[in-house]
């Protein structure tokens, strides 16, 4: 077997149906020079081992499992996967997502052709799905952040503009930037992406989506999506990440600029809100005048008809 070019890290916990689909997605890749580690975050190890046993013998040689006795969280699991692989390129394949068969081939070719780039990024297609018996079937599709031309730090400051399933990056980034932040229950990928984008923008491979982000409404627990099922955790952690970055800036530069900007931005919002209220009030008054004129005209017409 040739040396792996890409390490695929799959985090899972008690989701055998999704895990089997994820493994099918990985095995379907036209690029065969990959290794895969499945990090079982405190789930039933038998179910994970059973999914691996069903793989063809050649594939089983490239797939390993690391079982944790208790759940340690998404980003501890991600780091375990990173540290238990050796390939120069890395990608997190969440157990409920999937790929186009040419994704890894296209991503590796991009990184080989552009050694100055930190990562390769695919357009991401959201697949909304619902359960039908023993499987999940697509009900709707949409392109995530289709309006963007490149992945930019300025855009990512507002919220995460790409998710792990479409992001293949160089292992050397962890040597320079550190591993995923294990103290974050969620949005660890966003925090890492911000550090990566601080180094430079990332162009998309093409307009074709090669990565599929599966989402389900009305599902909770093991089969839920964290962006839906853990919305409160996302909001709180987002605020904590921003507050930590703000404090780091203040430690380095003092409070002066942020104090000024806080007041300036708040005043601008007050002015904009006042302007909107004035426009609404003027519109309402104009409508009232128009209504009164129309009512007066109707009275005149009725009076003329009677005369």
Helix (H) or strand (E) segment spanning residue 248: helix 231-253
Contact 219, 182 (CB under 8 A): no
CA dihedral 295, 299, 305, 307 (to 10 degrees): -160
- Classify residue 35 by burial, with Cβ atoms within 10 Å: 0-12, 13-18, 19+: buried
Q: What was the pLDDT predicted at 1?
A: 60
The continuous run of DSSP H or E covering 169 comes out as strand 167-170
Counting every residue written for the chain, the total comes to 307
Structure tokens at 77: 């699991």
Tens of pLDDT, residue by residue over 147-177, are 999 999 999 999 999 999 999 999 999 999 9
Ranges under pLDDT 50 in the chain: none
Distance from C-alpha of 114 to C-alpha of 108, rounded to nearest angstrom: 10
Looking at residue 227, what is its pLDDT? 65
Q: CA–CA separation, 57 vs 43, rounded Å?
A: 24
What are the tokens at 72?
Answer: 């340690």
> Which pLDDT score, from 0 to 100, does residue 220 have?
66
Domains of the chain, each with CATH number or no CATH: 6-230 (3.90.550.10)
The answer to whether 113 and 192 have CB atoms below 8 angstroms apart is no
Concatenated DSSP letters of 191-219 = HHHHHHHTT--EEEEEEEEEEEEEE-TT-
Percentage of residues in the chain with pLDDT exceeding 70?
A: 96
Residue 10's SS3 state is strand
Whole-prediction pTM: 0.85
- Parallel/antiparallel/unpaired status of strands 167-170 and 119-132: antiparallel
Question: To the nearest whole number, what is the mean pLDDT of the chain?
Answer: 92
pLDDT, tens digit, 9 for 90 and up, residues 31-42: 999 999 999 999
């Amino acid at each position: 077997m040739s040396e792996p070019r890409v390490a695929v890290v799959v985090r899972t916990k008690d989701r055998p149906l999704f895990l089997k689909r994820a493994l099918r997605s990985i095995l379907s890749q036209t690029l065969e020079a990959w290794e895969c580690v499945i990090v079982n975050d405190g789930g039933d190890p038998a179910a994970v081992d059973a999914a691996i046993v069903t793989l063809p013998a050649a594939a089983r040689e490239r797939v390993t499992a690391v079982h944790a006795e208790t759940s340690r969280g998404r980003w501890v699991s991600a780091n375990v996967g990173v540290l238990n692989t050796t390939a120069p390129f890395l990608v997190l394949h969440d157990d409920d997502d999937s790929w186009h068969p040419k994704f890894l081939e296209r991503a590796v070719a991009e990184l080989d052709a552009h050694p100055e780039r930190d990562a390769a990024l695919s357009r991401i297609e959201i697949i909304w799905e619902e359960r039908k018996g023993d499987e999940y079937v697509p009900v709707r599709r949409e392109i995530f952040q289709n309006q963007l031309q490149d992945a930019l730090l300025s855009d990512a400051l507002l919220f995460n503009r790409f998710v792990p399933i479409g992001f293949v990056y160089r292992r050397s980034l962890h040597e320079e930037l550190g591993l995923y932040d294990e103290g974050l229950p969620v949005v660890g990928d966003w925090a890492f992406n911000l550090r990566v984008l601080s180094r430079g923008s990332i162009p998309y491979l093409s307009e074709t989506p090669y990565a599929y982000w599966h989402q389900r409404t009305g599902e909770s627990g093991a089969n839920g999506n964290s962006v839906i099922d853990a919305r409160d955790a996302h909001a709180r952690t987002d605020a904590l990440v921003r507050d930590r970055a703000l404090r780091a800036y203040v430690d380095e530069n003092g409070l002066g600029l942020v104090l000024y900007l806080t007041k300036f931005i708040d005043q601008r919002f007050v002015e904009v809100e006042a302007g909107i209220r004035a426009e609404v009030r003027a519109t309402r008054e104009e409508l009232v005048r128009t209504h009164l004129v129309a009512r007066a005209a109707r009275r005149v017409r009725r009076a003329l008809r009677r005369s």
